Structure 1
């Protein structure tokens, strides 16, 4: 009897000791007591709870970022087993664009379990990953169908990625999947193998177009810079000539003013009349001009006549 009691006590002690459990360093534990989830989550370490079936323990790692791959790109080789794989991919991964083109798209959804909504992840949906896959495929098909082939391949990948990430986050929250979307990455976009060469030709033509545009822009910038420099040079030269002309005119005006003042001073002093001073100055300037011009003449003409020739242009005033 005592032996049976000891055995029973050992079994009971072992049963209650089974309530001891360990939570790993990166893990959190969600306890369900009699089927009801108990919050908050239990952190890492050694803990105790009422043994099964009174308490059920579910462990999660909310810091682990998981990757869900959706779709794929066409394989370059269709030899051997790759033929069946590629044929299967064509049925799953082809998306129709808004301008009636077909593309193979691969998307990697990076997500983690939400610590605040761990109960939704564990008990709100039978298979959250599969639910996420179906939602993302639906969103991807909708976004690609609203876009042109040039937007998806390859001009609008950044905008397409941001759009998919934002819409997937909203849809996951509304469906209460208990996960947090970190990023939706466009891992690859490729045309089907049968039309890949046509896409390559279009891409090469687009690259050539962009190259020509860049060369034209560079030539325009170079031409504009040269024209600007030449215009600046002409403006500077014109400004220098303007200042030189102004200074020269001012000098001539000052000298002329002094000469006129000298005329008046001679007249006031009784040296000679104003007109005499004027005629004498004109003759002097005329001779100075001849002294400067005659040495530069390439040829000279000598007049041999019996009559005197008056070369002056300022005849004397006999009045």
Structure 2
């Protein structure tokens, strides 16, 4: 009995020892698997953290400028202004701790105010709702209705990027409201003729200046470059009558311009004729004065010669005078006969005396 019990106890001991060994091996295996799993989890977590940290890198393209909002507040420089990140690679806190806003400061944006009135509605838009923000009809100062369409050219101001991003919910929407207000005020201060044809340039300059002032006052962070009047037209119901009035006004302007051109032409011709007459009169005056001076000088020389002959005793003053007048008479008669176109010769058998100095000679005697 004792030998049998000993064998049983030894068998039990061997079985227990075997079970303990198997349990130890299983424990070691389980511990190894747990360590490997922990290592893999740590590696995956580190990889995820690394990828998450790498997501903080961001790229700013060449035509853009970036603004970083860190924990909801814009990053500023030492001067207290919003820091602008130039083009290139940059790093900051990953999302959601930092958000990057990219802005193209060189982009010229266009905002259109008003839609033109159509001749007939489209088949699929007969019951279309009218958007009040896109209406184009405005009341002028003389109580006329005009369809007006304008285009506003603007860009983001480099010195006020923070105002563009954070001062307003939508700067473009507020700019549209301001543009419509400026257009309505400008139309109320203008008549239909001024707004339609005569004062477009002045109206455009006025709206541009007013909109720039309001944008600065409202601190929208935008710079308005220009306001262009794309179209000004009457409503369709009165378009034909409006065109007739414009044609009549054009005919009136044409007639006035033609009359002014004719008046200026006649005035220029009159000034030319007057100047020509004055010049001719001046030339005739100078010629007459010179001829009179020459004749006076010649006569003075003749009188001096006559007195010289009288003093020398060659002949008397009266004889010298008579001789000089006869010579002058013959020279004049020769000059006159040379210019006569036809000559008449009288054959009466009597001599013809053509002298006119006989009475002067007798009187001189």
TM-score, scaled to structure 2: 0.76
1:46-103 CA distances to partner (integer Å, 9 max, x unpaired)?
2221112221222222211111111122224446357667976898221111111111
For the structure 1 residues 52 and 79, does the alpha-carbon distance in structure 2 shift closer, same or farther, using more than 3 Å as the test? Answer: closer
Q: What corresponds to 2:73 in structure 1? A: 36
1:259-292 CA distances to partner (integer Å, 9 max, x unpaired)?
2122212221222322333344445545665666
Among 20, 24, 36, the residue aligned to 2:61: 24
Q: How does 1:166-185 map to 2 (within 5 A)?
A: 166-185=209-228
Q: What corresponds to 1:75 in structure 2? A: 118
Please tell me whether residue 123 in structure 1 is matched to residue 169 in structure 2. Answer: no
Instruction: Give the whole-Å Cα distance in 1 for the aligned partners of 2:332 and 2:87.
Output: 111
Deviation at 1:192, TM superposition (A): 0.6
Instruction: Give the whole-Å Cα distance in 2 for the aligned partners of 1:290 and 1:6.
Output: 142
Which of the pair has the greater relative contact order for Cα pairs under 8 Å at 6+ separation? 1
Q: How does 1:111-260 map to 2 (within 5 A)?
A: 111-260=154-303
Q: What corresponds to 1:306 in structure 2? A: none
1:161-190 CA distances to partner (integer Å, 9 max, x unpaired)?
111111111111111111121211111111
Q: What corresponds to 1:15 in structure 2? A: 52
3-state DSSP of counterpart to 2:225: strand
Instruction: Give the whole-Å Cα distance in 1 for the aligned partners of 2:71 and 2:335.
Output: 125
Instruction: Give the whole-Å Cα distance in 1 for the aligned partners of 2:359 and 2:66.
Output: 121
For the structure 1 residues 87 and 299, does the alpha-carbon distance in structure 2 shift closer, same or farther, using more than 3 Å as the test? Answer: farther
Runs (5+) with no aligned partner, structure 1: 304-309
Say if 1:62 and 1:112, in contact at 8 Å, map to a contact too: yes
1:92-129 CA distances to partner (integer Å, 9 max, x unpaired)?
22111111111111111111222332222222111211
3-state DSSP of counterpart to 1:74: coil
Runs (5+) with no aligned partner, structure 2: 1-37, 77-82, 349-354
Instruction: Give the whole-Å Cα distance in 1 for the aligned partners of 2:166 and 2:274.
Output: 77
Say if 2:318 and 2:364, in contact at 8 Å, map to a contact too: no
Structure number having the greater strand percentage: 1
3-state DSSP of counterpart to 1:116: helix
For the structure 1 residues 82 and 292, does the alpha-carbon distance in structure 2 shift closer, same or farther, using more than 3 Å as the test? Answer: farther
- Please identify, of 25-34 and 74-83, the stretch whose mean Cα deviation from structure 2 is larger: 74-83
When the two chains are superposed, the root-mean-square deviation of aligned CA atoms in Å is 3.2
3-state DSSP of counterpart to 2:362: coil
* Total equivalences in the alignment: 316
Say if 1:279 and 1:316, in contact at 8 Å, map to a contact too: no
TM-score, scaled to structure 1: 0.86
Instruction: Give the whole-Å Cα distance in 2 for the aligned partners of 1:318 and 1:222.
Output: 64
Instruction: Give the whole-Å Cα distance in 2 for the aligned partners of 1:90 and 1:190.
Output: 19
